[in-house]
Amino acid sequence: MAKEVKKVNKLTLLSKGWNAVFVIILFLMALLVVIPMVLILIVSLSSELSIANNGYTFFPSEWTLDGYRYLFKTGDQLADSYLVTIFYSITGTLMSLTFMTMFAYVIAQKNFKHGRLFTWLLFFTMLFSGGLVPSYILNVRYLHINNSIWIFLLPSLVNAYYTVILRTFIRTTIPDTLFEAARIDGAGHFRIFVSIVLPLFKTGIATVGLFNMVARWNDWFTGMLYIQNPKLVPLQTLLTKLQNTIDFLKQNAAIAGTPDGIALLRSLPDENMRMACTIIVILPILFAYPFFQRYFVQGLTMGSIKG
């Protein structure tokens, strides 16, 4: 990709003036992206006193690692949440990939009698859905999977959009003749799937898997709606809860001014600790994604292939 851009540039180099203008505009835009995150990082490293005096600022009067220290000392909840999130992100992604690739293989078959029916069964769920409330009633009242690990795994098993993309990918990347040859050799569908499609299809699966895993890692809604057990609260939900409880208690304690309220406030996580928590939640993704960027870009373009 970069090579081609360079080649074009050699032919028609942008004038130095315009190049400088573009470089500056693009740099300012990059700053706009980075600065808010830098602010969070700096607040997580500011002392409570500095925050009380100057608010959140890029130039705290006192730097400290206290936020992180408290977090690790009192962070049982954080550890639980980390474990739960890692567990269901990985397990859920593996389950999803198994379901989705098998189904994609089936609907990629051109001679399968019920192929069209199955495709429509999947595709229709992209166009029309029961929405939040019926799913909620189903999960809570009839399946009883709320407040358990299953709520993170089952309702999000199959993503119709990515399954359609996987199907298109199987059709366009794996030639029909390969299937024919395998069949003449006496291989059944399951055998073809495991020993031909999966190996040829590694990047496609990795791409969908990565998107799936990021979506699971970032999901705060499921936890907020269905989970009460503190051992099962995911990281992102923990962040939201932390924020809301602090604001709520602060307002009420300030109004009531009771000793109890003030004591409760003291025991709450400090401002810098909350920001430290945020940093620790986003760190894995920020570190991992530049390495996987190739897959993400590929995933984006995958969506635009038609089959």
Q: Under rule CB under 8 A, which residues in 71-90 are in contact with another protein? A: none
Tell me the CB-side half-sphere exposure of residue 59, using CA atoms within 13 A: 0
Which listed residue (45, 219, 222, 270) binds another protein by CB under 8 A?
219
Judged by CB under 8 A, the chain residues 236 through 295 that form the site for another protein are 236-237, 239-240, 243-244, 247, 271, 274-275, 278, 281-282, 285-286, 289-290, 293
Q: Which residues have C-beta within 8 Å of that of residue 253, sequence separation ≥ 6?
A: 261, 262, 264, 265
Which listed residue (221, 245, 262, 263) binds another protein by CB under 8 A?
221
For 63, phi then psi, to 5°, come to -100, 145
Binding to another protein by residue 18, rule CB under 8 A? yes
CA distances from 30 to 5, 71, 160 (A): 20, 30, 34
Which listed residue (49, 72, 83, 129) binds another protein by CB under 8 A?
129
Binding to another protein by residue 162, rule CB under 8 A? no
Judged by CB under 8 A, the chain residues 137 through 156 that form the site for another protein are 137-138, 141-142, 154-155
Which listed residue (68, 103, 169, 179) binds another protein by CB under 8 A?
103
Q: Which of 155, 82, 160, 94 is nearest to 128 (CA)?
A: 160
What's the closest the beta carbon of residue 244 comes to another protein, in angstroms?
7
| Total number of residues that touch another protein (CB under 8 A) | 118
Measured from the Cβ of residue 302, the count of other Cβ atoms closer than 10 Å reads 19
Kindly indicate which of the ranges 67-75, 85-93, 219-227, 262-270 contains the residues binding another protein, using the contact rule CB under 8 A. Answer: 219-227
